Structure 1
Amino acid sequence: MKLEDSIDLTRVGPGTVMGEFMRQYWIPAAMSSEVKADGDPVRLLILCEKLIAFRDTSGRVGILDHRCPHRCASLFLGRNEENGIRCVYHGWKFDADGKCLDMPNMPPNRDFKDKVHAKAYKTAERNGLIWVYMGNDQENPPPLPDIEANYIAGSEIWCLQRECNWLQALEGDIDTSHVGFLHVGSLTPDDLPEDHPMRPTVINRAPEYEVRNTEWGAMYGGYRPNEDGQTSWRVAHYMFPFWTQTPNARFATRAIARAWVPMDDEHCMLFDISGGVDEGNPAYISTRKTGELLFEKFEYEPATTDWYGRWKCRDREFNDWGIDRQSQRDGVQFTGIANITIQDQAVTESMGAITDHAHEHLSPSDQMVARTRRTLLAAARAWRDKALTPPGSRKPDVYMGARAGSFLDTPSVSLEDAYKAQLEKAVRWTSEG
């Protein structure tokens, strides 16, 4: 990859190619449970912008530039009271839209609150998730995207901060051949129940691929012969601008979506949303035939209020991601790292804060990674150079075409035909339920 391409893909601050592109979409900002009515303001770092979130007395969420427009003191120190956030420096108060409500340090004849606004972004909430729209057209935001997993009542949402660039974090989700090594490299087929969705990966760790462009971004199907003569498929998606759907779940009964939201160029926040009518995501509840869990749970660091204080894992680079070399030697875990998510985190963070793509040697197993980079770069530059509407940003229903997971089908069926047939049989969720 050219250096210019790498820079355009990875830098996300105001005025950058990717930063301006991403600002045309609704962005997951926080879980609804993080922001309490009349509670403490929460620091958010999104696309290199320092923001604060607060929920007012009536329940509305405001997301504002943390700097008070008076003297730039941080509104994080502010008092969340009576449907507004009040700066503690001089008492100026702002509502969730950034409108100045009060200037108590000014004589009435000098008051000019009607002319002052804090920088505020549009917000929305749906099913436990707070969204923010950071585009310039705040009067005409697009609809929220039709992310299927976010329509499932009672869907599980969890977050995890990753200390690396958003792109390399995302690319781990669209690389299927690593599963046979990083996650299940120490397993044999006899370790897993016959219907386990990861069993075909253990049997054959070198899949073939089909990759396609789609309305929502790109999709791949990793396929291999199954032991019963059928073809095992693992289908997954990249969705504009930073979403993935991973293939470890059962296709017919579960929906998943994972947002890799850039905090800045060297940190990102994962929002994992999943739900279904089955027993849960096999990636997190998998067991051996013995009933023993394949992967342990990870633990969070206690939260702090600084810009990087939310949703940090206890095991990070400072302690080698909790690697247990004896577990690695004994074949308990191929990596020696007990949790599947932290296995991913370790390898992507080990690449450095921003991967130097000049050192890569991509192979046929990286088709989806290469396709996603090209697709994303072309769309972002088309927005910059031609003002072409970013794909899916104003057509939320295109995301409903994406569904990921694993399934079996008859041999010699194309990706398109296998995917269409499975989609018609799958349980689906929409805004109507």
Structure 2
Amino acid sequence: MKAEDSIDLTRVGPGTVMGEYMRQHWLPAALSSEVATDGDPMRLLILGEKLLAFRDSEGRVGILDHRCPHRCASLFLGRNEESGIRCVYHGWKFDVNGKCLDMPNMPEQRDFKEKVRAKAYQTAERNGLIWVYMGADQKSPPALPHIEANLIADSEIWCLQRECNWLQALEGDIDTSHVGFLHVGSLKAEDLPDDHPMRPTVLHRAPEYEVRATDWGAMYGGYRPNDDGQTSWRVAHFMFPVWTQTPNTKFASRAIARAWVPMDDNHSMLFDISGGTDEGNPAYIATRRTGEPLFEKFEYAPRTTDWYGRWKCRDDAHNDWGIDRDSQRNHVQFTGIANITIQDQAVTESMGPITDHAHEHLSPSDQMIARTRRLLLSAARAWRQNGEQPPGSKRPEVYMGARSGSFLEDRSIKLEDAYDVQLKKATRWTGA
């Protein structure tokens, strides 16, 4: 990869190629449960901008620049009261749209609150998730994207902060061959139930691939023979600009979407959203044939109020992500790390804050990663050069074409046909 390409892909602050492109999309910002009515304001760091989130007396969520436009004191110190956030320095008060409501330190005849606004971004809420739109045109934002998992009323959402660039975090989700090693490298086929979605991966750890560009981004299918004569498919997606759908779920009965939202160049926030008619995501509730869990749960570090204080894991680089060398040597876990999510966390954070792409040697197993990088570069530069709108902002329903998961099909069927067959049989959610 050229150095210029790497910079354009990974840097996300104001004025950068990728940062400005991402600002044309609605992005997940926080869980609805994180901000209470008239409760404490919360620091947010998104796309390199230091922001503040609060919920006013009417239940509306505001996301503002944390600096008061008077003297730049932080509104994080402010009082969330009576339908606005009041700066404790001089008492200036702002509503969720950034409108100045009060200047109590000014004589009435010198009041000019109608001329002052705090920088505020459009927000929306849907099924437990707060979204933010950070584009320049705050009066006419696009419609919320039709991300299927977020259209399920009782969907499960959890978050995790990752201390690395958003792109390398996202790319871990669209790399399917690592599963046979990083996650199940110590397992044998007989360790898993016959219908377990990871069993074919254990049988054949080196899949072949088909990759396709799509209206929403890109789709890939990792395929390998199953021991019953069928072909095992693991189908998943990249969706503009920060979304993945991973293939560890059961295709017919569960919708999943994972957003890798850049906090800044060196930190990202995962929003994992899933729901369905089955018992849950097999990747997180998987058991051996004996009923013993495949993976342990991870624990969050105590929450703090600083810019990086939310959704951090207890195990991180300071303790080598909790690696247990005896577990590794004795084939309990191939990595020696007990949780499947922290296994991913460890390898992506170990690459450094931003991967030095000059040291990579991509292989045929990295087709989806290479395709996704090219698509992102092309789309971001098209926006920068001629204002070409992202596909999801023009047609928010385009994302409904994507569904991921594992399934078995006749060995003669190609990716598109196998996908179409499974899509027709799957339970879908439209949010209607």
TM-score scaled by length of structure 2? 1.00
Matched residue type, 2:314: R
1:132-143 pair list within 5 angstroms: 132-143=132-143
Residues of 1 paired with 2:426 and 2:288: CA distance? 26
Give the match for residue 2 of structure 1: 2
| Shift in Å, 1:394 | 2.2
| Shift in Å, 1:431 | 2.0
Residues of 2 paired with 1:105 and 1:56: CA distance? 23
Residues of 2 paired with 1:411 and 1:201: CA distance? 16
Residues of 2 paired with 1:64 and 1:87: CA distance? 13
Residues of 1 paired with 2:104 and 2:193: CA distance? 68
Whether 1:235 and 2:235 are equivalent positions in the alignment is: yes
Give the match for residue 379 of structure 2: 379
In the TM superposition, what whole-angstrom CA distance separates every residue of 1:343-364 from its partner, at most 9, and x where no partner exists?
Answer: 0000000000000000000000
| Shift in Å, 1:391 | 2.0
In the TM superposition, what whole-angstrom CA distance separates every residue of 1:119-150 from its partner, at most 9, and x where no partner exists?
Answer: 00000000000000000000000000000000
Helix, strand or coil at the partner of 1:257: strand
Give the match for residue 42 of structure 1: 42
Give the match for residue 252 of structure 1: 252
| Shift in Å, 1:412 | 1.6
Give the match for residue 326 of structure 2: 326
For the Cα contact (< 8 Å) 1:53–1:64, is it kept in 2? yes
Give the match for residue 68 of structure 1: 68
Give the match for residue 317 of structure 2: 317
Give the match for residue 223 of structure 1: 223
In the TM superposition, what whole-angstrom CA distance separates every residue of 1:355-403 from its partner, at most 9, and x where no partner exists?
Answer: 0000000000000000000011000000001111112122110000000
Residues of 2 paired with 1:24 and 1:385: CA distance? 14
Give the match for residue 126 of structure 2: 126
Matched residue type, 1:286: A
Give the match for residue 56 of structure 2: 56
In the TM superposition, what whole-angstrom CA distance separates every residue of 1:214-272 from its partner, at most 9, and x where no partner exists?
Answer: 00000100000110000000000000000000000000000000000000000000000
In the TM superposition, what whole-angstrom CA distance separates every residue of 1:403-423 from its partner, at most 9, and x where no partner exists?
Answer: 000000001211000000100
Residues of 1 paired with 2:394 and 2:135: CA distance? 12
Give the match for residue 289 of structure 1: 289
| Shift in Å, 1:153 | 1.7
Residues of 2 paired with 1:272 and 1:395: CA distance? 23
Residues of 1 paired with 2:58 and 2:30: CA distance? 19
For the Cα contact (< 8 Å) 2:166–2:261, is it kept in 1? yes
Helix, strand or coil at the partner of 2:30: strand
Residues of 2 paired with 1:429 and 1:154: CA distance? 11
Give the match for residue 115 of structure 1: 115
For the Cα contact (< 8 Å) 1:379–1:391, is it kept in 2? no
1:8-19 pair list within 5 angstroms: 8-19=8-19
Residues of 1 paired with 2:422 and 2:291: CA distance? 29
Listed as ranges, the gaps of 5+ residues in structure 1 are none
Matched residue type, 2:235: V
Residues of 2 paired with 1:167 and 1:313: CA distance? 20
Matched residue type, 1:192: L
Residues of 2 paired with 1:103 and 1:417: CA distance? 64
Whether 1:146 and 2:172 are equivalent positions in the alignment is: no
TM-score scaled by length of structure 1? 1.00
Helix, strand or coil at the partner of 1:89: coil
Give the match for residue 24 of structure 1: 24
CA RMSD of aligned residues (A): 0.4
Helix, strand or coil at the partner of 1:392: helix
How many aligned residue pairs are there? 432
Helix, strand or coil at the partner of 1:234: strand
Matched residue type, 2:214: T
Give the match for residue 86 of structure 1: 86
Give the match for residue 298 of structure 1: 298
Residues of 2 paired with 1:381 and 1:9: CA distance? 10
Residues of 1 paired with 2:264 and 2:376: CA distance? 18
Helix, strand or coil at the partner of 2:130: strand
Give the match for residue 426 of structure 2: 426
Matched residue type, 1:160: L
| Shift in Å, 1:287 | 0.1
Helix, strand or coil at the partner of 2:392: coil
Matched residue type, 2:125: E
Matched residue type, 1:351: M
Residues of 2 paired with 1:332 and 1:46: CA distance? 38
Residues of 1 paired with 2:32 and 2:386: CA distance? 36
Where do 4+ consecutive residues of structure 1 move more than 6 Å? none
Give the match for residue 307 of structure 1: 307
